[in-house]
Amino acid sequence: MINRIYALLIRYKNISFGSFPRLLSIFYWPTVQILFWGYFTNFFMSNNEFGVWSVLNIILSAVILWDVLFRGQLGLTMSFFEELWSRNLPNLFITPIKDLEIVIGLVLISLIRTIIGLTPAVFFANYFFNFHLFELGFYLVFLFFNLIVVGWAVGFIVSGLVLRYGHAFEELAWAIIFIILPFSCVYYPLSSLPEIIQDIVQILPTVHIFESMREVAINGNFNKYDLLKIIFLNLVYIFLSVLFFLKMIKVARLKGLLFNQGE
Amino acid sequence: MKNTSVKTLGLSKAYDNKVILQDVSLELPTNGIFGILGKNGAGKTTLLAMLMGLITPTKGEIFIYGKSLRDHKYEILKLINFQSPYVELPKKMTVFQNLVFYARLYNVNNFKSKILKLSKDLKISDLLKYSYGNLSSGQKTRVNLCKALLNNPRLLLLDEPTASLDVLTSAFIREYILDFQKKNKSTIIITSHDLVEIEKMCNYLVLLDCGKLTYKGNLKNLIKNNNSLLEFFLQND
């Protein structure tokens, strides 16, 4: 019996610690939780009310907008993973479809899945908590599109890594967004973070997006400088991530990986 | 090159210094069924994958119907299709949805009637409504073949088309392929471990051994003094 249990333990050890992404997901989560709830509690305790917008409204806006990013990324990666899991990649890549057409297809299905997925959440938030997301007006459209673009950028990086390095990187599809969560200032302002981290995290478009969301919610205006920063960072990230994904398809062709993917 | 379907010049593939295919040059005519034979790891599937652009050669050049695969890839891919028991279709979609998906990718005109006709011929009409993932391996093979014929390929690549099938289904698939080739005058390249199958279907053979081309030519010339391919391989092993 001991031998059999030992054999199982060895097998599960190999699965759990056999790849860097899986190892990362084991020790990263407790740290993320502590950082996230620590900063969030600080912000919550020191801010009770912002004019007509309660803290609750700001949090609900952040929850829904964060989900735009998460759903956007997941919609893209899961659609691509379906091809891997079905062992369908060779069939797909021998059709006259171009790599860029696959990119466009993934982006569109992600957009559709995100809109469908979030509609009930917005409705329930409105019905049960008298929460009016649409009061963000035109800014909502701007924030939505920029967050989903961040999701696509992350999605292309993850899809490229899985195509190149295999299924061990699938874990990242679920984890990567939450790795950047504490540093994205989703539920608390940038000023809540230690100064040294504040300078570093400004390379994340999410920081400027959620800072802008709070600015609109509290003061009703949008800093034009932030708007330009968001657009610039997103253009750079989406361009580089698509380039990375296309490069990984090329590498997969060189290494014969398109033929050997599957569950 | 007018009557050449596939031409490879010095085709080689290596992964991290491990040679899979070495300096393979061959020229196959149009209109016929050609067999690629070799032991496991001989490079058969790698050669097929390179002909479809799935694997980029380390060295060498591929021409399909006179056009360079590197320079005219998408134009050539419209003329090609492929079937393998090791490559599946999306499991969560029904057979019909899968076939419609691929018909659209190949820009097939009147694809619904084309699917219905092929399904009837391949005896899979009653499977159209089922999820692909729920089919048996024999049923999947027939559905995969249906997918492979959707665009009336001028060049059809079949990787072990009857692997793990029962005798009756194998015979049916073989007959169907032979009939398709005669009617469409297309070029079919088959890799198989089944020597009887290769003998029945192909009159031209390519032999690979450890990535090297060891024979290309007529089946009759190869087995000259032997009664069958099996006897030839047993004597030359």
Domain ranges of chain B: 1-79+156-163+189-237
Given a cut of 70, is residue B2 above it in pLDDT? no
Average pLDDT over residues B44-58: 94
Given a cut of 90, is residue B157 above it in pLDDT? yes
What ipTM, to 2 d.p.?
0.90
Residue A189 near residue A43, CB atoms below 8 Å: yes
- Selected for mutation to probe chain B from A79, A89, A93, A94 (highest B CB count within 10 Å) is A94
Residue A50 near residue A218, CB atoms below 8 Å: yes
Helix (H, G, I), strand (E, B) or coil at B62: strand
Model confidence, pTM: 0.86
B-chain CB neighbours of A95 within 8 Å are 77, 102, 105-106
**Bigger pLDDT: B190 vs A222:** B190
Residue B228 near residue B195, CB atoms below 8 Å: yes
Q: How far is residue A236's CA from residue A151's CA, in Å, rounded to a whole number?
A: 14
Q: How far is residue A70's CA from residue A231's CA, in Å, rounded to a whole number?
A: 19
**Bigger pLDDT: A247 vs A129:** A247
Average pLDDT over residues A125-151: 82
Average pLDDT over residues B84-100: 91
What pLDDT digit, counting tens, does each position of A69-115 carry?
998 999 999 999 988 888 889 999 999 999 999 999 999 999 998 88
**Which two structure tokens, joined as six digits, stand for B14?**
């290596």
Q: Is A244 on the interface with B (CB under 8 A)?
A: no
The beta-carbon contacts of A235-239 under 8 Å, at least 24 apart in sequence, are A237/A149, A237/A150, A237/A153, A237/A205, A238/A149, A238/A152, A238/A153, A238/A156
Name the closest residue on chain A to residue B18, using Cα atoms: A255
Q: Is B91 on the interface with A (CB under 8 A)?
A: yes
**Bigger pLDDT: B161 vs A122:** B161
**Bigger pLDDT: B167 vs A52:** B167
What pLDDT digit, counting tens, does each position of A3-28 carry?
777 777 777 777 667 677 667 766 66
Q: From the list A88, A254, A262, which residue is nearest B89 (CB)?
A: A88
Residue B60 near residue B12, CB atoms below 8 Å: yes
Question: Considering only the top CATH level, what class is B1-79+156-163+189-237?
Answer: alpha beta
Residue A57 near residue A217, CB atoms below 8 Å: yes
Angle, CA of A182, A183 and A186, to the nearest 5°: 70
CA dist B119 → B85, B93, B143, B153 (Å): 18, 16, 8, 17
> To the nearest whole number, what is the mean pLDDT of chain A?
84
What pLDDT digit, counting tens, does each position of A182-229 carry?
899 888 889 888 888 999 999 999 999 999 988 887 787 888 888 999
Name the burial class of residue B53, with classes exposed (0-12), middle (13-18) and buried (19+) by CB atoms within 10 angstroms of its CB. buried
Residue A232 bridge partners (DSSP): none
Given a cut of 70, is residue A47 above it in pLDDT? no
Q: How far is residue A187's CA from residue A181's CA, in Å, rounded to a whole number?
A: 9
Residue B117 bridge partners (DSSP): none
Average pLDDT over residues A173-187: 85
Angle, CA of A185, A188 and A32, to the nearest 5°: 60
Q: Is A82 on the interface with B (CB under 8 A)?
A: yes
pLDDT for position A140: 83
Q: From the list A94, A250, A262, which residue is nearest B54 (CB)?
A: A94
Query: Which of A113-122, A227-236, B65-74 has the weakest average pLDDT?
Result: A113-122
Strand stretches in chain A, DSSP E: 49-50, 53-54
Residue A43 near residue A90, CB atoms below 8 Å: no
**Which two structure tokens, joined as six digits, stand for A60?**
């609900």
DSSP character at residue A191: G
pLDDT for position A52: 44
